[in-house]
Amino acid sequence: YSAKRDKNRFMVYTQQEDTERRQQLRLAQELPDAIDNNQLRLHFQPMIRMHDSTVIGAEALVRWQHPQKGLLFPDSFIPLAEGAGSIEPLTRWVLDAAIRQGSKWLSSGHKLNVSVNISALILHNPIFPDIVNRLLEQSRFPAERLKLEITESAIISDVVRATDVVTRLHELGVKVSIDDFGTGYTSLAYIRKLPVDEIKIDKSFVLNMNTVSDDAVIVRTLLELARNLDLSVVAEGVEDRETWYMLAGLGCHVAQGYYMSRPIDVEAFDSWLTTSPWAAAR
Ligand code: C2E
Ligand code: MG
Ligand code: MG
Ligand code: MG
């Protein structure tokens, strides 16, 4: 009898797991139509130059306004997109929307750079630089104002090809940033092999650097590494005033985090640009 009960418990467990997997599969299958039916949204989070508190750019962060499930965050569908072959159309949609928005800001007098997250998988596509170039031309957005944040969600399997793609993007004038720096074991290899302009120190090191001394040591070391390699540094996950001042004291270039603003939709961002003390500093 007890063996049977164990068996039942095992079945209950796998049934739950099964339901979850089926839901994920459904979500992955819905994604291509969601892109076509304009269910994706961009939120923007300001990036602030520390030495003069000037807003110099915005990171575009994708959301999925799902008709039944509400607003979904990228961690719940980007991995699915990568697995189900819809990361390319998704990235194209994000790039197009972000570049258009950057172009609108320029026309209204806001000289902002726009950062877009790129799954490393995309770097295997040799025509990706052409796609980016066409989108830039269509919106007449200067390549120098576009920054591609390469995330290590996928391991680059064909390093030679990826290096070629990044090199061509760099030749277009597009800036290249390594996101979540310090967390992936390939990030050091990236900055040796790829023409990188910037690193973004992962928020896991920044969030508690004002109370956890090991975290502060890591951030200081990454800043020194970046300085020696002549790379610009963004600290993400700046949530309070103390962390801002600590980073400023360490010579960090750019800060991003809830202390200045959460990621918000364009309407909210535009009003933030006119009302926030950070934006007023310019
Ligand atoms: P990421 O590029 O490292 O973006 C930073 C994440 O940290 C964002 O989460 C942002 O909302 C959050 N964040 C910003 N400031 C703070 C802070 O002060 N405290 C805390 N606790 N969190 C903060 P989000 O928007 O959920 O995005 C998660 C990840 O999804 C991104 O991490 C990025 O890797 C990926 N992602 C977002 N949009 C895209 C996209 O269009 N394409 C691809 N391939 N990936 C994307
Ligand atoms: Mg990013
Ligand atoms: Mg990051
Ligand atoms: Mg991330």
Residue closest to 234 by CA, chosen among 243, 223, 224, 246: 223
State the distance from the centre of ligand 4 to the C-alpha of 227, rounded, in angstroms: 23
Task: Flag the least confident range among 14-23, 84-93, 173-182, 259-268.
Answer: 14-23
Q: Kindly indicate the confidence band of residue 1, based on its pLDDT and cuts at 50, 70 and 90.
A: very low
Predicted confidence (pLDDT) at residue 2 exceeds the cutoff of 70: no
- As residues whose CB is below 5 A from the ion ligand 4, the structure lists 180
DSSP letters for 213-279: HHHHHHHHHHHHHHHHTT-EEEEE---SHHHHHHHHHTT--EEESTTT---B-HHHHHHHHHH-HHH
Predicted confidence (pLDDT) at residue 276 exceeds the cutoff of 80: yes
Residue 209: the pLDDT is 98
Q: What is the pLDDT of residues 28-58, one digit of tens each?
A: 999 999 999 999 999 999 999 999 999 999 9
Residue 153: the pLDDT is 59
Which residue's CA is minimally distant from atom 14 of ligand 1?
A: 257
Residue 72: the pLDDT is 98
Predicted confidence (pLDDT) at residue 205 exceeds the cutoff of 60: yes
Residue 177: the pLDDT is 94
Which residue's CA is minimally distant from atom 43 of ligand 1?
A: 117
Residue 6: the pLDDT is 55
Task: Report the pLDDT averaged over residues 245-270.
Answer: 98
CB 173 within 8 A of CB 141: no
Burial class of residue 6 in the structure, from the number of CB atoms within 10 Å of its CB (0-12 exposed, 13-18 middle, 19+ buried): exposed
pTM assigned to the model: 0.93
Residue 246: the pLDDT is 98
Cβ of 237 less than 6 Å from ligand 1: yes
State the distance from the centre of ligand 3 to the C-alpha of 237, rounded, in angstroms: 8
Predicted confidence (pLDDT) at residue 189 exceeds the cutoff of 90: no
**CA R_g for the chain:** 21
Cβ of 61 less than 6 Å from ligand 1: yes
Structure-block tokens of residue 13: 């467990």
Please state the φ and ψ torsions of residue 264, each to the nearest 5 degrees: -135, 160
Residue type, 245: Y
Cβ of 72 less than 6 Å from ligand 1: no
Cβ of 94 less than 6 Å from ligand 1: yes
The proportion of the chain whose per-residue pLDDT surpasses 70, expressed as a percent, equals 91
Burial class of residue 274 in the structure, from the number of CB atoms within 10 Å of its CB (0-12 exposed, 13-18 middle, 19+ buried): exposed
Which residue's CA is minimally distant from atom 21 of ligand 1?
A: 237
> Residue 149 CA: which ligand is closest?
2
Q: What is the pLDDT of residues 153-164, one digit of tens each?
A: 555 677 788 889
Residue 8: the pLDDT is 57
Quick count: other Cβ atoms within 10 Å of Cβ 37? 10
Cβ of 258 less than 6 Å from ligand 1: yes
- Closest ligand 1 atom to the C-alpha of 45? 14
Which residue's CA is minimally distant from atom 17 of ligand 1?
A: 237
Q: Kindly indicate the confidence band of residue 5, based on its pLDDT and cuts at 50, 70 and 90.
A: low
Predicted confidence (pLDDT) at residue 139 exceeds the cutoff of 50: yes
Residue 186: the pLDDT is 66
Task: Report the pLDDT averaged over residues 96-102.
Answer: 98
State the distance from the centre of ligand 1 to the C-alpha of 267, rounded, in angstroms: 19
